[in-house]
Amino acid sequence: MGNQTQLSDKLLNYLYISTLKLKAKKMFKSLINLLFPKVCLGCNSFLETNETVICTNCRHELPLTNYHLEAENELTKKFYGRIEIQFGSAMIYYHKKGIAHELIHNLKYHRHQEIGTFLGNWYAEDLKNLEITKTFDVIIPVPLHKKRLKERGYNQVATFAKALSENLDIAYDDSILVRNIYSKTQTQKNFLGRTDVSKDVFGTNFTEENHGKHFLLIDDVITTGSTLEACARVLLKIPNAKLSIISISDTHNMGF
């Protein structure tokens, strides 16, 4: 009887301490949120407790393209006569001002990689019921040069690509496509500069295992499509390879 009482006391004591720790953790989290409130990465307003990354208003105002619902869309038309792609889509329209610009800027230059995960999880829900997604074998992010990767610390496309990979159950591989030449960022180039990408900028590391694969190439912003075209030309040299493209955003007119 005495042993049972001791066990009961120990269990009650454990539950009591666990409850106190849980309460302390919640209080600490509340204090952190009070001192350092989380803000929407689209408009900088304070986030409500049930909101993450962007506020509800920004989520509703995000300029979705719905390209995935059309076999021929503004993105696929950019590549007519340039490269053969099986499927092309972008999640949102990109403009110099607005929510999309803020999200891409925060993702690319302010280390907010959670934006990529958030958008990737969201877009995967739109893509998962498409028949074409069942044919993708490998997801490949547009690579950074190793020097740029060291400077930035991360590839801004990676979290978006990995979120698609996890949600759509498609392999992710960032070793097949490599960037050989260090160059200016797209934001530092004029329009003509964006259309001029050397054929030697990208290269591949592939094996026989990659033959006949359908690659899904991922980028963050499509302007002229020259970077993706250069990537595609290299990937399509892999025997019997097929290619599709998805970007986080697309500049759908010259006034981006």
What is the domain partition of the chain in residue ranges?
61-250
Query: Cα separation of 76 and 86, whole Å?
Result: 9
Mean pLDDT of 49-72: 95
pLDDT at 33 over 60: no
Q: Which of 22-31, 103-112, 157-166 has the lowest mean pLDDT?
A: 22-31
Using CA atoms, how far apart are residues 64 and 92, in angstroms rounded to an integer? 4
Alpha helices in the chain (DSSP H): 2-35, 56-61, 74-78, 99-109, 114-127, 146-152, 158-168, 191-195, 226-235
Half-sphere exposure of residue 56: CA atoms within 13 angstroms, side-chain side: 4
Q: Take residue 138 and report the two structure tokens written for it.
A: 């490998």
The per-residue pLDDT for 134 is 96
pLDDT at 26 over 50: yes
pLDDT tens digits for range 115-165: 999 999 999 999 999 999 999 999 999 999 999 999 999 999 999 999 999
**pLDDT category of residue 255 using cuts at 50, 70 and 90:** very low
Cβ–Cβ contacts within 10 Å for residue 168, how many? 19
Percentage of the residues of the chain whose pLDDT score is greater than 70: 79
Residue 235 has pLDDT above 70, yes or no: yes
Question: Which CATH class name applies to 61-250?
Answer: alpha beta
DSSP secondary structure code for residue 249 in this structure = E
Report d(CA 79, CA 232) in Å as an integer: 10
Mean pLDDT of 35-41: 79
Mean pLDDT taken over the chain: 87
For residue 32, pLDDT over 50 is answered with no
Statement: residue 3 has pLDDT above 80 = no
* pTM of the predicted protein model: 0.82
Q: Residue 16: pLDDT above 70?
A: no
Q: Is the pLDDT of residue 200 over 60?
A: yes
